[in-house]
Structure 1
């Protein structure tokens, strides 16, 4: 797990948020645990619901780690733009220069999570690869 570039980026960002040192003794697995929501756990969460601030924070961290990995892969700084309705749906954009490199529609954010760390990384890696391909196709717009 520790050799996965996306997971490294995510853990770096999580640890950077720990201004009080409360998470210094926590393992990587413990820090990633809130991102794991099994199918059984999802079923227990009501269909309707407002996402709490911790969930929104995790969504931001997830996409910020993707932006960080895009920058590492391409050299282009990716900036996140998140617009979420209070009922838990919205949109996440990552831009490089004037180019939108990620356009993710988000819904049911109160159920945000992944079955396991591997599936979280797989999804992120796919998003990163697609963003890198868009940047390679339109490098002058990404640099603008």
Structure 2
């Protein structure tokens, strides 16, 4: 993992931080600076090269993937009013699929690979990737609002 960087003010990042801290039963992350809490999501290219692809993905990595997409789902809900629930199916070798559904509509369909190396070059890169996914999901909901409202 990279050294903590300063992080930009961003609603997506604030939601991600809130979700991470919600899992902290002892309160240790509450006093920790935001950059330090986000640090495990930042993985440089050099660090990625050092991570072997063989073996099961670390449970902490799977947890970070789930939190990342949950924060995306929360952002989608904030923009559209429709709850976007994540569904993750990961093979033990580190590849799989992440779906976010709103009603009966699949709003995000991301194929995940090399989960052993999950991370972003910088906080801004993480924000930019999330914004692209969120914008795409919002566009799908705007195109098919009846399916998103269906239960």
TM-score range normalised by the length of the shorter chain:
over 0.9
Q: SS at the partner of 2:109?
A: strand
Select which of 71, 74, 81 maps to 1:75.
81
Does residue 20 in structure 1 map to residue 26 in structure 2? yes
Give unpaired runs (5+ residues) of structure 2: 1-6
Q: SS at the partner of 1:50?
A: coil
Q: 2:102 and 2:16 mapped to 1: Cα distance?
A: 19
Query: How does the TM-score come out when normalised to structure 2?
Result: 0.93
Please identify, of 93-102 and 9-18, the stretch whose mean Cα deviation from structure 2 is larger.
9-18
Does residue 30 in structure 1 map to residue 36 in structure 2? yes
Q: 1:73 and 1:107 mapped to 2: Cα distance?
A: 28
RMSD (Å), alpha carbons:
0.9
Select which of 3, 9, 28 maps to 2:15.
9
Query: How does the TM-score come out when normalised to structure 1?
Result: 0.97
- Deviating runs (4+, > 3 A) in structure 1? none
Q: Is residue 2–residue 8 contact of structure 1 (8 Å, CA) maintained in 2?
A: no
Please identify, of 85-94 and 47-56, the stretch whose mean Cα deviation from structure 2 is larger.
47-56
In the TM superposition, what is the alpha-carbon distance from 1:2 to its structure 2 partner? 5.3
Q: SS at the partner of 1:19?
A: coil
Does residue 132 in structure 1 map to residue 131 in structure 2? no
